[in-house]
Amino acid sequence: MRYLPLTGEDRAEMLRVIGAPSIDALYSDVPADLLHGPEAFQAVAPGKSELQVEREMAAYARASRAAGDGPFFVGGGLYRHHVPAAVDHLIQRSEFLTAYTPYQPEIAQGTLQTLFEFQTQVALLTGMDVANASLYDGSTAAAEAGMMAVRITRRNKVVVAGSVHPHYRAVVQNQLGFAGIEVDLAPADPLAEDDVAARVDAGTAAVIVQNPGFFGQVRDLTALARAVHAKGALLIVAVTEAVSLGAVESPGAMGADIVVGEGQSFGNALTFGGPTVGLFATRSKFLRQMPGRLCGETVDADGRRGFVLTLSTREQHIRRDKATSNICTSAGLCATAFTIHLAMLGEQGLAHLAALNHALASRAADRLAAVPGLRLVNDTFFNEFTLDLGQPAAPVVERLAARGILAGIAPAALDGVEADAAALRNLLVVAVTELVTDEDVEALASALTEELSA
């Protein structure tokens, strides 16, 4: 029991001080028939040594095909980027890794100042006034944004564009449905101009769009924002590839009222889908309706600048059933990784990284479009685009995986597009980041050439 410091002697002495005959006696409030010993958990294995556990976990790890093991083009809301070694080293420092929520600000200034820097970075990237200290992930942040819009407008319908990630659509539909909010899902279609403004009526609280869209297309949202605002609704913009914000105009500059996003691309590994870092930013005037934690600047008793968690009067531990949300966890450590990586990139590095992603994706799209029998579907994109394979994509993805190439995502199989699955059947969404080499693209192009002509 290497994690348990008490010795038998310690336990005996502690029981003597308590005046109890045994540890079991301390469970005297538990009805006897409900109290078990380890023998009642035969299906659960006994404890193992560090070496044994490491071997068992390594066996699981080896039984998957890691992204780095060959050509890799999977994106769809999570992106494989190079994370500088210093980022992981810093977030493994005990003082970041093993701290709790900064409820005692005087001895949590490290976490708090980092969150203040995170909030600033997110506000700058998204072009908004304020950001919170992070939510679980982009999909739940999108649902929170929908509910926030309902609180602000006192209307009860949210329109979700076809450009939005299928999982995000499913999460929004599920969570808002339980909250009694109507959700109108526009068809998922890579080429739909997303004329979602037409779906907005006097009962619509908000429209949720994604930019770049799930299928890759990049859009100027200015006209949409104007149309949505003209009908008294809010525009929520989701960004699942945060690196794009180094090249694409910010949602704030295009008229968004709330920006949600997934920050995994900065500082965080793929980690099989989580934990990741939900971004949430908005205009100052909506500040008090914003869910989640906020770090604010203040002064201490000596007048020195310091940071605290603030505006907690919106939160569940004060307002309970009147709270803006039930959230009482952030993605603190993932947000810290985000902040460190973005600090290392800086203005120059972010612009460079975004340009590099875009150029490599653009070149890859040209190369793949030359494969006979397939067609590049969208003419605008950042680092992810959609191919029409002219035949069902899912089996092709499987065959390419068997050849050691993870070619991308066949969207027809995802939750959230059930109604549109037939129209999406032949599509393949391909992501290209700075980690994709010319050789990788060539391998994908030639494998696709063979598979599609077979």
Partner 1 sequence: MIPETATGNRGLQLEEPLIFEQGTPGRIGVDLAPVPEAKSRLGGVVRKAPVGLPDLAEPQVVRHFVRLSQKNYSIDSGLFPLGSCTMKYNPRLNEKVARMPGFADLHPLQPVSTIQGALGMMHELGTWLTELTGMAEVTLAPAAGAHGELAGLMAIRAAHVARGDARKRVIVPDSAHGTNPASAVLCGYTVQSIPGTDDGRVDVATLKAALGPDVAAVMLTNPNTCGLFERDVKVIADAVHEVGAYFYGDGANFNAIVGRVKPAELGFDCMHINLHKTFSTPHGGGGPGSGPVVFAESLAHVAPGPRIRRQDDGSYTVEAVPGGPAVGRLKAFFGQAGMFTRALAYMKSLGRDGLYAASGDAVLAANYLMARLSEEMTPAFPGPAMHECLFDDGFLEGTGVSTLDFAKAMIDEGFHPMTMYFPLVVHGAMLIEPTETESKQALDQLVDALLSLARRAKAGEAEAFHAAPRYAPRRRLDETLAARKPVLRWTPPAEARAAAE
90 lies in the binding site for partner 1 (CB under 8 A): yes
173 lies in the binding site for partner 1 (CB under 8 A): yes
What pairing do the DSSP bridges indicate for beta strands 234-239 and 204-210? parallel
Which residue, 15 or 232, is less far from partner 1 as judged by CB?
15
The amino acid at residue 430 is V
Site for partner 1 in 397-416 (CB under 8 A): 397-398, 401-402, 406, 409, 414-416
Site for partner 1 in 189-208 (CB under 8 A): none
Find the part of the chain contacting partner 1 (CB under 8 A) among 188-196, 197-205, 226-234, 352-360.
352-360
130 lies in the binding site for partner 1 (CB under 8 A): yes
Which residue, 16 or 231, is less far from partner 1 as judged by CB?
16
Beta carbons of 407 and 389 less than 8 angstroms apart: no
Give CA separation, 300 vs 109, 118, 119, 253, 346, in Å.
12, 22, 21, 36, 30
Which residue, 231 or 285, is less far from partner 1 as judged by CB?
285
Residue 189, Cβ density class (10 Å: 0-12 exposed, 13-18 middle, ≥19 buried): middle
Whether omega before 291 lies within 30 degrees of 0, making that bond cis, reads no
Beta carbons of 396 and 44 less than 8 angstroms apart: no
Lookup: tokens for 196: 């979602």
Site for partner 1 in 14-53 (CB under 8 A): 14-15, 17-20, 23-31, 34-38, 40-48, 50, 52-53
Instruction: For the CB of residue 178, give the shortest distance to partner 1 in the complex, in Å.
Output: 5
Give CA separation, 3 vs 6, 7, 50, 100, in Å.
9, 12, 11, 19
333 lies in the binding site for partner 1 (CB under 8 A): yes
Give CA separation, 414 vs 54, 369, 384, 392, 398, in Å.
33, 24, 17, 14, 15
Q: How far is CA 446 from the centre of its chain?
A: 33
Find the part of the chain contacting partner 1 (CB under 8 A) among 114-122, 149-157, 187-195, 442-450.
114-122
| Residue span 221-240 as binding mask against partner 1, x where in contact by CB under 8 A, dash where not | --------------------
Distance CA(245)–CA(203), nearest Å, equals 32
Instruction: For the CB of residue 454, give the shortest distance to partner 1 in the complex, in Å.
Output: 18
Which of residues 225, 360, 371, 387 is near partner 1 by CB under 8 A?
360
Site for partner 1 in 256-315 (CB under 8 A): 262, 269-275, 287, 293-302, 304, 306-308, 310-313, 315
Dihedral sign computed on CA atoms, order 439, 444, 449, 454: positive
Which residue, 76 or 162, is less far from partner 1 as judged by CB?
76
Lookup: tokens for 324: 């803006």
Which residue, 54 or 231, is less far from partner 1 as judged by CB?
54
Size of the site for partner 1 (CB under 8 A): 219
Find the part of the chain contacting partner 1 (CB under 8 A) among 89-97, 198-206, 420-428, 441-449.
89-97
Distance CA(258)–CA(98), nearest Å, equals 32
Which of residues 380, 390, 391, 419 is near partner 1 by CB under 8 A?
380
Q: Which helix (H) or strand (E) holds 75?
A: none
The amino acid at residue 441 is V
Which residue, 66 or 419, is less far from partner 1 as judged by CB?
66
359 lies in the binding site for partner 1 (CB under 8 A): yes
